[in-house]
Amino acid sequence: MKVYIDETICKGCGLCIYYCPKAVIHFSKRRNNKGYIVAEVEKIEDCIGCKLCETCCPDLAIFVDKEEVKGKKHTKSSKI
C-alpha cells in the first residue's frame, strides 16, 4: 500500500487526518511553498486501503495505490 500526498497542492485542511480510521496521516512540521502546513503519512503499515483520505480531499492532493502483494495474485471469481 502506498499513499501519495502532493505537498504542492495540499492546503492543510486536515480532512484526510480527520477521516482516516487508522490515524495513518498527520500534520507535518513542514510548510509547502504556499505556506500551508501539509499532511504526511506516518504509519503506512497501519493503512487498510479504504481510500477515505483520497475521497475526502477537496484538492485531489492524495492518491492511494493498492499494490499487489508479492506471491499472491488477485483474480476475479466467476459464477457459472
Which residues are 64's β-sheet partners? 3
User: Which residues span the domain enclosing 10?
Assistant: 2-65
Instruction: Answer yes or no: is 75 within a domain.
Output: no
Q: Which residues pair with 18 in a beta bridge?
A: none
Q: Considering the domain boundaries, does residue 18 fall inside one?
A: yes
pLDDT tens, position by position, for the chain (80 residues)? 899 999 999 999 999 999 999 999 999 999 999 999 999 999 999 999 999 999 999 999 999 998 754 544 444 444 44
pLDDT at 68: 52
Domain count for the chain, please give it: 1
pLDDT value, residue 75: 45
Residue with cell 485542511: 13
CATH label of the domain that carries residue 18? 3.30.70.20
DSSP letter string, 65-79: E-PPPTT--------
Residue 76 domain-assigned (yes or no): no
Q: Is residue 27 a part of any domain in this protein?
A: yes
